């Protein structure tokens, strides 16, 4: 799998026509085009001045950028008040899923992986015309001969593996995108309002405990009220440290019980 940045060729066209089925092209961001394909040799894209980029860079630039192939707008535009504590997790999320994608291909050497897109291309040619000459599909013809297996078996294996690979990669990318969209949907203004409400509830509960004291002027009561005030300060700190509504909901006040 290669991710890359490219320019249009002299005919003002992109490279989609020479890439395997399922490749991504045409993502236009900041005066450059981006793409990804199941290939390992970018030399076939020399006419497009291609420059290789990492999967993480591709995801960072392209997944949240609007384009014809990727019409979802930048999540920052959808939610102008994202939660900073959650949004800062995005690079780690992308890195994690990039590593997962790399694990898929890591068992195979680079030399073998460089033939994958050729195998798929030739397999599709044979599938559309099984009378095609060996000179037009030299790679898989040689594989078939060396393994002493019929071309139909070789082609089916290649297409099945290619389909499986794309399905796994698609699932990984889908999970990554869903998680990133989730962290961007939490509105910090909503969370701030919820924190204010939570703190006001704590103040109200503390005031109720004080009001229920039979003699708030006694030494025991004064000491207890001081403990309540200290706990209220702790609660405020705990509320401010929460970064999600779930954490906020799980926060208990745990005011001390009067022992006088």
- Each residue's pLDDT expressed in tens, for the chain with a length of 260 residues: 678 888 887 777 788 878 876 577 777 777 788 888 777 788 888 888 899 887 667 766 765 444 444 444 455 555 556 666 667 778 888 888 888 888 888 888 888 888 888 898 999 999 999 999 999 999 999 999 999 999 999 999 999 998 888 888 888 888 888 778 777 766 666 777 888 899 999 999 999 999 999 988 888 998 899 899 999 999 988 988 887 788 889 999 999 998 76
pLDDT at 71: 42
Predicted TM-score (pTM) of this structure: 0.45
CA angle 56, 159, 28 (to 5 degrees): 35
Return the sign of the alpha-carbon dihedral for residues 214, 216, 219, 225. positive
Rounded to whole angstroms, the Cα distance separating 41 from 219 reads: 82
Burial class (CB in 10 A: 0-12, 13-18, 19+), 92: exposed
pLDDT at 73: 46
Residue 105 bridge partners (DSSP): none
Task: Map residue 244 onto helix, strand or coil.
Answer: coil
> How many other CB atoms sit within 10 Å of the CB of residue 29?
15
pLDDT at 70: 43
Rounded to whole angstroms, the Cα distance separating 157 from 161 reads: 6
């Amino acid at each position: 799998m290669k991710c890359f940045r490219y320019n249009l060729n002299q005919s003002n066209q992109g490279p989609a026509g020479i890439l395997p089925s399922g490749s991504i092209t045409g993502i236009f961001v900041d005066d450059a085009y981006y793409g990804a394909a199941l290939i390992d040799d970018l030399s076939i894209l020399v006419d497009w001045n291609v420059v290789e980029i990492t999967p993480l860079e591709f995801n960072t630039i392209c997944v949240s950028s609007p384009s014809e192939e990727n019409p979802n707008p930048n999540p920052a535009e959808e939610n102008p008040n994202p939660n900073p504590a959650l949004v800062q997790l995005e690079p780690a999320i992308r890195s994690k899923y990039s590593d997962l994608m790399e694990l898929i291909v890591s068992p195979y050497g680079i030399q073998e992986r460089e033939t994958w897109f050729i195998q798929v291309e030739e397999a599709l040619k044979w599938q559309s015309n099984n009378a095609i000459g060996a000179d037009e599909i030299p790679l898989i013809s040689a594989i078939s001969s060396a393994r002493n297996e019929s071309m139909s078996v070789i082609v089916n294996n290649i297409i099945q593996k290619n389909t499986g690979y794309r399905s796994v990669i698609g699932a990984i990318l889908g999970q990554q995108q869903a998680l990133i969209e989730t962290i961007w949907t939490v509105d910090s203004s909503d969370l701030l309002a919820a924190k204010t409400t939570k703190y006001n509830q704590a103040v109200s509960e503390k005031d109720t405990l004080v009001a229920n004291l039979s003699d708030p002027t006694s030494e025991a009561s004064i000491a207890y009220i001081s403990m309540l005030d200290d706990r209220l300060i702790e609660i405020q700190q705990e509320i401010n440290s929460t970064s999600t509504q779930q954490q906020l909901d799980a926060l208990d006040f745990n005011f001390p019980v009067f022992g006088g």
